[in-house]
A and B are shown apart, each in its own frame.
Chain A
């Protein structure tokens, strides 16, 4: 076990939420990425989290945070948009745009940010408790 187990647990949690925010940032940045119709559309990234040591009895069944289990991809089909003046447009004047809903992404961004902040707040608290432990007997 780590010397300060809460801190390593929080490091795991923080990295999951940061990965999530990175994925959303990438999704939003590619909201209007145009491809030609014979190519796949930009696929949104969805971060899948899983618990570490969940239910396995490490120290009295205490898990050690979360980690990124994998990335799921959104629709490669996207949606076809009529833009005849676009250089990538096919003979029917269609281009392929990613099928990403901005409202959903923004909502998830807030969720990810809230989770990130909650994890950081725990680090502050844990630090106080560890400092108190270091003062025992002084």
Chain B
């Protein structure tokens, strides 16, 4: 069974990757009539799961934004999506670096410390 750090980072990486797909879908549907922007949440579930014992039990949920729509029934806000995309991308890089650092520690422990 993986340790808490690896399991938690794994959930975070999955959640960020799901968010990235949803933002991509939102931007692809920037002008699609009746399209409601998707929103991903995993942070609240992950933080609850981390205070318990099993971070792997955290769930990634997707729902539709209930923000006001324009005349064509679409509520994708490009500024919001672009900022969320940049943030998600940077967090993804930080998280993957954290996983790499964790693996580097393990590698040191098994005697291949480079």
Give me the interface of A with B, judged by CB distance under 8 Å: 5-6, 9-10, 12-13, 16-17, 20, 48-51, 54-55, 59-66, 111-112, 114-115, 118-119, 121-122, 125-126, 128-129, 132-133, 135-138
Within 8 Å by CB of B23, from A55, A59, A122, A128, lies A122
Q: What are 16 A-B contacts defined by CB distance under 8 Å? A: A5-B24, A13-B28, A49-B33, A63-B29, A65-B25, A65-B28, A65-B29, A66-B28, A66-B29, A114-B78, A119-B30, A121-B85, A126-B89, A129-B17, A129-B88, A133-B96
Cβ contact within 8 Å between A136 and B99: yes
Cβ contact within 8 Å between A118 and B27: yes
Within 8 Å by CB of B22, from A62, A137, A138, lies A62
How far, in whole Å, are A61 and B59 apart by their CA atoms in the complex? 13
Cβ contact within 8 Å between B89 and A138: no
Q: A5-B21, A9-B24, A62-B21 are in contact. Are A51 and B35 (CB under 8 A)?
A: yes
Q: Write out the residue numbers on chain A whose beta carbons fall within 8 Å of the beta carbon of B29.
A: 13, 49, 51, 54, 63, 65-66
How far, in whole Å, are A51 and B59 apart by their CA atoms in the complex? 25
A138 CB, nearest partner CB in chain B, Å: 7
How far, in whole Å, are A66 and B33 apart by their CA atoms in the complex? 11
How far, in whole Å, are A126 and B28 apart by their CA atoms in the complex? 14
Cβ contact within 8 Å between B96 and A6: no
Q: A125-B86, A135-B100, A138-B100 are in contact. Are A9 and B25 (CB under 8 A)?
A: yes
Q: A60-B62, A128-B89 are in contact. Are A50 and B32 (CB under 8 A)?
A: yes
The secondary-structure label for the interface of chain A is helix
Cβ contact within 8 Å between B82 and A118: yes
Instruction: Specify the chain B residue showing the minimal Cβ separation from A69.
Output: B32
Cβ contact within 8 Å between B62 and A122: no
**Among residues 41 to 57 in chain B, which have CB atoms less than 8 Å away from a CB atom of chain A?**
none
Cβ contact within 8 Å between B28 and A62: no
Q: A61-B38, A62-B18 are in contact. Are A122 and B92 (CB under 8 A)?
A: no
Q: Write out the residue numbers on chain A whose beta carbons fall within 8 Å of the beta carbon of B20.
A: 6, 125-126, 129
Q: Write out the residue numbers on chain B whose beta carbons fall within 8 Å of the beta carbon of A126.
A: 20, 24, 89
Q: Write out the residue numbers on chain B whose beta carbons fall within 8 Å of the beta carbon of A119.
A: 27-28, 30
B46 CB, nearest partner CB in chain A, Å: 14
Cβ contact within 8 Å between A137 and B86: no
